[in-house]
């Protein structure tokens, strides 16, 4: 199977919509309306948190595509998030790129980096890939701290990142950044949805569940894995870039192994093979630390850890999986009721 | 030359710590085909236990022994209560549970013992007669303790019936069960021993890296590199890989990449081994029948 890059998949609207049920369209529209209207009701720190939530959702989208759909375990997605953050910062302050163009530039750089890492890594089986990406995540801060790169990265002290100002009167800078993030996120979600629902998505699932059968059906397993790695790094990297703009400051210590683990937690809680589960997962990793921090600085991690273990045992498909099985149960109950009524209606006639 | 010799020998001391950790990883891998990502945090937690004991006035070697016992029990309990449930789960599930354990232990340690750096005592005082310019007393002691422990572990597996039963259970669970070996109990025992080995490594590493919840992340990375280099299914390969990686780290850190890229060096070793020789130096090449 030839691989189709995300931009060109489903370039026609009708094809995108044809694959959605009306309930899904309504649900997505309602969700989008809620997100679009949110700045009317919240501001300040809460708006900051909501922006970060959207950014995490995009980052999780990248992780889910790779780990959930393609079955490639990554424990190092924080490294791609960091790469995106630094690429964006360098593009703005050294290459003079305007902020609105950075997602495209960052996405391109991260695609190449992800593809190059994925090319050899895709040959590794699940466990070994987990090991390699884990090592990448632990080593990443050391690369960022290198003295020879300090001109661009700011070394271990980090660098400030410019915050864009709003071009519209009546829209504050924070609100503008939120809308900008939301627009990028919606575009990326639509692209990911197309990748997953199209030929490529079916190739990914086939590859995950039975690589040999997938190869026999004509899927070029190695090339598809490497390209998925690239797309995944693109999504997470763009999220990292947006995160850098939002934070206004980046330093190597923000990108420790625990960032990767936080992303893993979000993916697992939301449902690792789910597109819309990412929003719930992002909400979880954005909000839970706020509450748990009141207990102790380290409490969120203790809670994350226990939740990861419990989640894998009780609901391995995450919240999205719970929703899916609840929906299946309702549909089954409805079908049973219809069948009962039909049987009751037929009886007197017979 | 003298400086080089110093780097080489203190590399052996670091290597001893990696060797113990790598052997712990290999033991669990042999029995379950899982990589224990939480091995480092288990060792860290054990080290905190021994620190608490020493602080409350228990003599060092008594605290050492109590900690080993505690670690053994923790390992057994974790296997019985948690890990048993994911033994036959897909790789992703297992990896996530191990990461969960890592994060939980790390968070718990930060919560209970706080994140401030603590100075952990070494039982080998720096003015001992065996301290030389090439090897400090603690480095020499670390090598000695590790060799002693490794020797004990290998003799256990080689010369005792229980060791034989454990090897059998890891090699071929079905046949072992038919012969009356309690495979589940052997697994739990293996976890206990791996946690004990990790505790030794943790207590030897703590005087060098200082005691804090993240102290073992670098050590664990090197232990991964060591286990892979030696061949992750070969118990003899693990110590060899450990000492090799320790020396490589020190020499390359001093003369090639500088101390700022030491972790990247571990990443490099891991990636190179995985790509060019996934079975390591002494491992068995696994042929999967499709």
Go through chain B and tell me how many residues it has: 290
Q: Tell me the per-residue pLDDT of A205-235, one tens digit each, with 9 for 90 and over.
A: 888 888 888 888 888 888 888 899 999 999 9
- For residue A169, give Cα distances in angstroms to A48, A164, A165, A279: 20, 14, 11, 30
Token pair of A10 as six digits: 């489903």
Percent of chain A whose pLDDT exceeds 90? 30
A-chain residues within 8 Å CB-CB of B257? none
- What is the rounded CA–CA span in Å between residue B255 and residue B261? 12
Rounded to the nearest angstrom, the minimum Cα separation between A119 and chain B is 11
What are A324-347's pLDDT values in tens digits? 888 888 888 888 888 888 888 887
In this structure, what are the phi and psi dihedrals at residue B72, rounded to the nearest 5 degrees?
-60, -50
Band the pLDDT of A6: cuts 50, 70, 90. Answer: very low
8 Å CB contact of B100 and A309: yes
Q: Which band of pLDDT confidence, cut at 50, 70 and 90, is reported for residue A1? A: very low
Lowest mean pLDDT among B48-57, B107-116, B143-152: B107-116
Q: Report the DSSP beta bridge partners of residue A250.
A: A159
Give pTM, 2 decimals: 0.86
Tell me the C-alpha distance between A133 and B184, whole Å.
31
The token pair at B206 is 């703590």
Question: How would DSSP label each residue in A55-119?
Answer: HHHHHHHHHIIIIIIS----S-HHHHHHHHHHHHHHHHHTS---GGGHHHHHHHHHHHHHHHHHH
Find the closest chain A residue to B115 by CA distance. A298
Nearest CB among B93, B103, B266 relative to A135 is that of B266
A23 has a chain B CB within 8 A of its CB? no
Residue A15, pLDDT above cutoff 60: no
Does B263 sit within 8 Å of A142, measured CB to CB?
Answer: yes
**pLDDT bucket at A10, cuts 50 / 70 / 90:** very low
CB spacing of A306 vs B100 below 8 angstroms = yes
H or E element: which one contains A160? strand A159-160
| In the predicted structure, residue A147 carries a pLDDT above the cut 90 | no
Return the SS3 of B168: helix
Identify which of B95, B105, B108 has the shortest CB distance to residue A130: B95
Task: For chain A, give the mean pLDDT.
Answer: 85
Chain length of chain A: 350
Other beta carbons less than 10 A from residue A286's beta carbon: 20
For residue B125, give how far its alpha carbon lies from the nearest alpha carbon of chain A (Å). 33
Nearest 10 degrees: CA dihedral of A212, A213, A219, A223? -20
Instruction: Check: CB of residue B163 under 8 Å from CB of residue B34.
Output: no
Q: What is the pLDDT of residues A287-324, one digit of tens each?
A: 888 777 777 777 788 888 888 888 888 877 777 888 88
Q: How many CA atoms lie within 13 A of B137 on its CB side?
A: 11
Least confident of A31-35, A63-67, A119-123, A169-173: A119-123
Show the beta-strand stretches assigned E in chain A. 159-160, 249-250
Q: Is the pLDDT of residue A7 over 70?
A: no
Pairing mode of beta strands A249-250, A159-160: antiparallel
Write down the ipTM of this complex: 0.87
Identify which of A126, A268, A301 has the shortest CB distance to residue B106. A301
Cα separation values, A269 from A239, A264, B122, Å? 19, 9, 42
Residue A297, chain B, CB below 8 Å: the answer is yes
Residue of A nearest to B111 (CA): A298
C-alpha span between B6 and B11 (Å, rounded):
8
C-alpha span between B268 and B258 (Å, rounded): 14
**pLDDT per residue as tens digits for the range B239-276:** 999 999 999 998 888 888 777 788 888 888 988 888 88
Determine the residue of chain A that is closest to B84 in CA distance. Answer: A313
Q: How many CA atoms lie within 13 A of A90 on its CB side?
A: 18
Tokens representing residue B70 in the block? 């505690």
Contact B104 A301 (CB under 8 A): yes
């Amino acid at each position: 199977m030839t691989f189709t890059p995300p931009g060109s998949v489903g370039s026609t609207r009708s094809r995108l919509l044809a694959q959605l049920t009306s309930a899904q369209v309504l649900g997505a529209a309602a969700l989008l309306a809620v997100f679009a209207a949110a700045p009317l009701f919240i501001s300040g720190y809460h708006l900051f948190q909501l922006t970060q939530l959207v950014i995490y959702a995009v980052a999780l989208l990248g992780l889910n595509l790779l780990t959930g759909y393609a079955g490639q375990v990554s424990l190092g997605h924080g490294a791609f998030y960091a790469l995106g953050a630094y690429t964006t910062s360098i593009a703005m302050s050294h290459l003079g790129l305007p902020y609105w163009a950075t997602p495209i530039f960052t996405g391109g750089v991260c695609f190449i980096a992800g593809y190059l890492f994925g090319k050899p890594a895709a040959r590794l089986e699940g466990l070994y890939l987990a090991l390699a990406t884990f090592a990448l995540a632990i080593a990443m801060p050391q690369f960022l701290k290198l003295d020879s790169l300090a001109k661009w990265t700011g070394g271990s002290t980090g660098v400030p990142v410019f915050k864009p100002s709003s071009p519209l009167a009546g829209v504050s800078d924070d609100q503008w950044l939120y809308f900008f993030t939301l627009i990028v996120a919606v575009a990326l979600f639509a692209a990911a949805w197309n990748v997953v629902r199209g030929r490529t998505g079916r190739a990914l699932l086939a590859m995950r569940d039975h690589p040999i059968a997938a190869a026999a059906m004509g899927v070029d397993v190695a090339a598809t894995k490497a390209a998925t790695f690239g797309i995944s790094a693109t999504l997470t990297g763009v999220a990292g870039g947006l995160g850098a703009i939002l934070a206004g400051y980046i330093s190597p210590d923000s990108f420790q192994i625990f960032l990767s683990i936080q992303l893993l937690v979000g993916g697992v809680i939301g449902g690792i093979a789910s597109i819309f589960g990412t929003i719930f997962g992002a909400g979880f990793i954005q909000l839970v630390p706020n509450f748990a921090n009141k207990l102790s600085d380290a409490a969120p991690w203790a809670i994350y850890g226990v939740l990861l273990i419990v989640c894998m045992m009780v609901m391995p498909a995450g919240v999205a999986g719970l929703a899916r099985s609840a929906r299946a149960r309702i549909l089954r109950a409805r079908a049973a009721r219809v069948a009962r009524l039909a049987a009751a209606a037929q009886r007197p006639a017979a | 030359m003298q400086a080089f010799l110093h780097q080489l020998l203190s590399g052996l001391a670091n290597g001893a710590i990696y060797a113990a950790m790598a052997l712990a990883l290999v033991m669990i891998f042999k029995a379950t085909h899982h990589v224990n990502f939480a091995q480092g945090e288990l060792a860290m937690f054990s080290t905190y236990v021994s620190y608490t004991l020493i602080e409350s006035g228990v003599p060092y070697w008594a605290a050492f022994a109590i900690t080993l016992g505690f670690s053994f029990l923790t390992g057994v309990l974790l296997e019985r209560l948690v890990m048993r449930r994911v033994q036959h789960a897909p790789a992703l599930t297992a990896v996530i549970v191990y990461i969960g354990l890592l994060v939980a232990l790390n968070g718990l340690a930060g919560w209970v013992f706080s994140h401030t750096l603590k100075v952990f005592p070494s039982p080998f005082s720096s003015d001992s007669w065996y301290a030389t310019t090439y090897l400090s007393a603690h480095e020499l002691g670390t090598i000695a303790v590790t060799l002693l422990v490794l020797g004990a572990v290998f003799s256990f597996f080689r010369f005792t019936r229980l060791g034989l039963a454990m090897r059998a259970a890891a090699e071929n669970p079905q046949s072992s069960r038919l012969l009356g070996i309690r495979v589940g109990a052997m697994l739990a025992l293996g976890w206990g021993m791996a946690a004990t080995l990790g505790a030794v490594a943790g207590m030897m590493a703590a005087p060098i890296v200082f005691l804090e919840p993240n102290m073992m992340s670098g050590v664990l990375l090197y232990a991964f590199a060591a286990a892979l280099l030696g061949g992750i299914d070969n118990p003899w390969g693990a110590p060899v890989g450990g000492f090799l990686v320790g020396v490589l780290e020190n020499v390359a850190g001093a003369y090639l990449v500088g101390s700022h890229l030491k972790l990247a060096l571990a990443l490099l070793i891991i990636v190179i081994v995985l790509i060019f020789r996934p079975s390591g130096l002494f491992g068995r090449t696994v042929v999967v029948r499709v």
